[in-house]
Amino acid sequence: MILKIKKEKTRPWWVKTGETITTEFFVIDKPTEGEAFADYFRNFENEYKHCNDLQFSIVNEQLAAAYRAWLGNAFNYASNGGDML
């Protein structure tokens, strides 16, 4: 399964314009949907969750909805490095 990821870098919060500075695209290629979602969560969403100027998103809306459902399962979240405090 191929998962296309968009990375947007925005200006810091103290700069009032709030516009996007750069946009990059990444591709995750894994055999199954679950493995692709786990890789995205571990290497992008969870790793950069405290970086306010970086935003990652899944380009395909249907896959983004499937990812949200996958992430809603506490086992998937916890077993891939999610903070369960």
* Among the listed residues 76, 69, 45, the one whose alpha carbon sits nearest the alpha carbon of residue 58: 45
CA 44 – CA 80 distance, rounded (Å): 12
Write the pLDDT tens digit of every residue in 35-50. 999 999 999 988 888 7
Distance CA 61, CA 66 (A): 9
Tokens of 17: 């314009």
Domains of the chain, by residue range, sit at 2-79
Residue among 76, 74, 64, 4 nearest 35 (CA): 76
pTM here? Answer: 0.83
List pLDDT tens digits, range 4-44: 999 988 877 777 776 768 889 999 999 999 999 999 999 99
Angstrom distance (rounded) from CA 55 to CA 13? 13
